[in-house]
Structure 1
Amino acid sequence: MALVTVALELVLVVTTMLVTASLVVVGPRRIATALSEFRWRLEVCLLPLAALAAVLFVRWATVDVTVRLEQRVIGYNLTPHLFEIERIVFPENPVAVLQSFQSPELTSFFVFVYIYGYAFLLLFPFVAYFSLDRMEELSTLLLSYTANYGIGLGCYILFMAFGPSNLAPDFFERLLYDAFPQAAFLTYQVNQPTNVFPSLHTSLSVTVFLLAWLTRDEYPVWVPIAGVLAGSVLLSTMYLGIHWFSDVVAGTVLAVVSVYIGRNYTVAGILHGVRDYVDARLSRDGQPDSK
């Protein structure tokens, strides 16, 4: 029941933000045109949309398997190394520095940004790019998201890492769950305590900002909004004690790589390349030994 209540509140708040931003940034005329041409727009983006859905489904369906692989078979615990790197590089840990500025108002702001602002930041580009005359930007968004989740899942299997508040709760405060305990009902449904390297909150937020910058001629107002929200999400992950600075850096790198993939490749091209590679290997293996 608590999960349903929190989920409904999330839907209500984010929907309100989406409607407001759509009217202000995109405009009623563009939205009306996009809705009237819904079918062909959806058909153009069907393949990258299916790829994203497949990756998200695999991530959701293999949570238990991933945890077992991570903790018992493959997973390498990065946590001590992340903590040691930040101890060497910084005179004081960045998470501790941010938390030293805590106040009820600042905590409330970062909790809102981490939960509601992040969801809005990820969803609004779908509306914005679906409303453009061409679907290239929406396809880029979908493939960039797919790369983020796909590479992120691989990292979570290979690397086990605990966030600051999970590693040392006496030193780093669990501000998210202290200020908003209901958040646990949401976060535990979609994530594991060891899935912090890289920070997907960071990578996806930076991805949205980079794409906003690349499409600034279409939506100039969206660029500062995306920039402020993305920057706030980055800070919130550390301020709330969820991610290390290293996780944020890795997430930023992942965002750059994902946007590069989204801008320079297509799902059809990737599938075609994989098929050619497999065919070439099968042909090579089927050839008789020249000796």
Structure 2
Amino acid sequence: MSLAEITGFVLVGEMLMLGVATTVVVGRTGLMRAREQFRDRLFEVYPHIGLLLGVLVVNKVAREFGPELSWVIGWNITSRIYAIEGNFVGTVQSVARPELTTYFSFMYIYGYVFILVFPFVAYFALADSKPLKKAAVAFAVNYGLGLVCYILFISYGPRNLIPDVVHPLLYSTYPESQILTGQVNANTNVFPSLHTSLSVSSALLAYQTRDSYPRWTLIAIPMAASIIVATMYLGIHWATDVCAGSVLGVGSVLIADRYVSDDSPE
């Protein structure tokens, strides 16, 4: 399959998931509110969305030369990570079953994209613009600091360092997925886990909006947990990457809380 075909399948799946979630979580009232406040809301949040888009553009450009720059100024921490946790990821994979591999592969690809995109749909429909602003800032911080770490630290994933212990379950089961993930990931940039950090941030933001969207909270938290486990189960990340990603995810939300609070009029 070509990259275009794989991307098409993912987009169709995401549209279906977003459509169902919007109906169940946001509802007709929320959609009507979003339509009524569309222009005003865009005016309110364009600096925050602009920040996120700017970081994503820099991220995209930097990933072209980032791996080469890492070998010049970076620090290879792969052996140190392995010294800390050994074959822990292999132990996680000891429970591998075809059903689990299918589930975690789905979460790693489809669930991850969904948990990043849906907050912007849901929070746009709220009367309060703060949750949408926080999501944009938190994700921007995640991507920005993540890029810095990817340049400063060289780290190969467990499937690359200890292939006799850890198996690339995602790529061996669904080899075409590597065509898609290869567009955004390199073998040397697994620390920290952005899948983890962004999922943690999304879950925390969902918890903050639990009064407005209780159903979204019930969806986001277990989905984030599944994505985090998937990064190790599939042999992509070390537990150390997950821990660092969790810290980054929490820190990004704290920064967003402070930034949006200071940015709001008294």
Q: TM-score, normalised by structure 2?
A: 0.96
Deviations 1:103-138 (A, max 9, x none): 111100100000001111111100110000021110
In structure 1, which of residues 247, 250, 260 is the aligned counterpart of residue 241 of structure 2? 247
2:82 matches 1:83: yes
Quote the offset at 1:234 in angstroms.
0.5
SS in 1 for 2:175: coil
Displacement of 1:36: 2.9
- Once the two structures are superposed, the pairs formed by residues 267-286 of structure 1 within 5 Å of their partners are none
Q: 2:189 maps to what in 1?
A: 195
Deviation at 1:32, TM superposition (A): 2.1
How many pairs are equivalent?
Answer: 263
Q: Is the 8 A contact 2:130 2:260 kept in 1?
A: no
Partner of 1:231: 225
Structure 2 CA distance, aligned partners of 1:21 and 1:94? 35
Superposition CA RMSD, Å: 1.3
Partner of 1:105 in structure 2?
Answer: 99
Q: Which residue of 2 aligns with 1:26?
A: 26
Q: 4+ runs of 1 displaced by more than 6 Å? A: none
The amino acid that maps onto 1:144 is A
TM-score, normalising length from structure 1?
Answer: 0.88
Q: By how many angstroms is 1:223 displaced?
A: 1.1
Q: Which amino acid is 2:74 matched to?
A: G
Secondary structure at 2:214 match in 1: coil
Structure 2 gaps of 5+ residues are: none
Of 134, 139, 145 in structure 1, the residue corresponding to residue 133 of structure 2 is: 139
1:162–1:267 distance in 2 versus 1, CA, 3 Å: farther
Displacement after TM superposition at 1:64 (Å): 2.5
- CA distance in structure 2 between the partners assigned to 1:267 and 1:75 by the alignment: 35
The answer on whether the counterparts of 1:48 and 1:267 sit within 8 Å (CA) in structure 2 is: no
Q: Deviations over 1:271-291 (max 9, x none)?
A: xxxxxxxxxxxxxxxxxxxxx
Contact 1:237/1:243, CA 8 A, preserved across alignment: yes
Output the amino acid matched with 2:259: Y
Q: In the alignment, does 2:115 pair up with 1:121?
A: yes
1:267 Cα offset (Å) = 11
Deviation at 1:268, TM superposition (A): 8.9
Give SS of 1:256's match: helix
1:151 maps to what in 2?
145
Asked if the contact 1:143/1:267 (under 8 Å) is kept, the reply is no
Contact 2:33–2:127 (Cα < 8 Å) also in 1: no
Which amino acid in the other structure matches residue 60 of structure 2?
W
Q: 2:165 aligns with which of 145, 150, 171?
A: 171
Please say if residues 47 and 267 of structure 1, whose CA atoms lie closer than 8 Å, have aligned partners that are also in contact: no
